[in-house]
Amino acid sequence: MTPRTLPSPVHADTAPRFDLEAALARAGVSQRLLRQCEARGLIAATEPRYTHAHVAVLRFARRALALGFAMDEIERLVALWRDEERTSAEVKRLTLCRAEALDSRIEELQATKRVLERLAELCLGDHRPACPILDELVELRGFAATASAADSRSAPASR
């Protein structure tokens, strides 16, 4: 696979310039993300007008967020992107760490789903007011707590 050259975010003074609304639309981001990027120094915080380089950084941040990277990680990734002397090893390490964190989160969500399914099995779902699901939510020391603990013990060990 041929490496794709990304637009360099280093030279933010290139024309043309866009107003805030146009920059947000071109990048496909919210003003909140733009302000987060400004606060972290990813783009200049006092720019009344934005360039293609600003838009490129905002798109980069949007895509990284969509992949589950945290803003601290995005800050590091942008720094690596800007560093023409970088090696890809750290980028790969950050990416694999994010993938491992997602694996852990998926395991947690699957365990939670199993508990919910077991709770649903306990409930008759009829016209009576008695509901074991609500009872478990009030107490959370009976079946749900036991099932959750059992699920976490039976989950495969992390790599």
In a domain, 91, yes or no: no
In a domain, 121, yes or no: yes
Do 20 and 26 form a contact (C-beta atoms < 8 A)? Answer: no
For residue 118, the enclosing domain spans 104-154
Note the pLDDT of residue 155: 52
One domain for residues 150 and 117: yes
Note the pLDDT of residue 48: 76
**Residue 139 C-alpha from the chain's centroid:** 32
pLDDT tens per residue across span 81-131: 999 999 999 999 999 999 999 999 999 999 999 999 999 999 999 999 999
CA distances to 30, 71, 82, 117, 127 from 57, rounded to whole Å, are 13, 13, 10, 43, 56
Identify which of 45, 48, 68 has the alpha carbon closest to the alpha carbon of residue 57. Answer: 45
In a domain, 34, yes or no: yes
pLDDT tens per residue across span 127-158: 999 998 999 888 866 555 655 565 555 555 54
> Count of domains in the chain?
2
One domain for residues 76 and 110: no
- pTM for the structure as a whole: 0.69
In a domain, 113, yes or no: yes
Mean pLDDT over residues 31-50, rounded?
Answer: 88
One domain for residues 74 and 128: no
pLDDT class for 45, splitting at 50, 70, 90? confident
DSSP reduced 3-state for 34: helix
In a domain, 89, yes or no: no
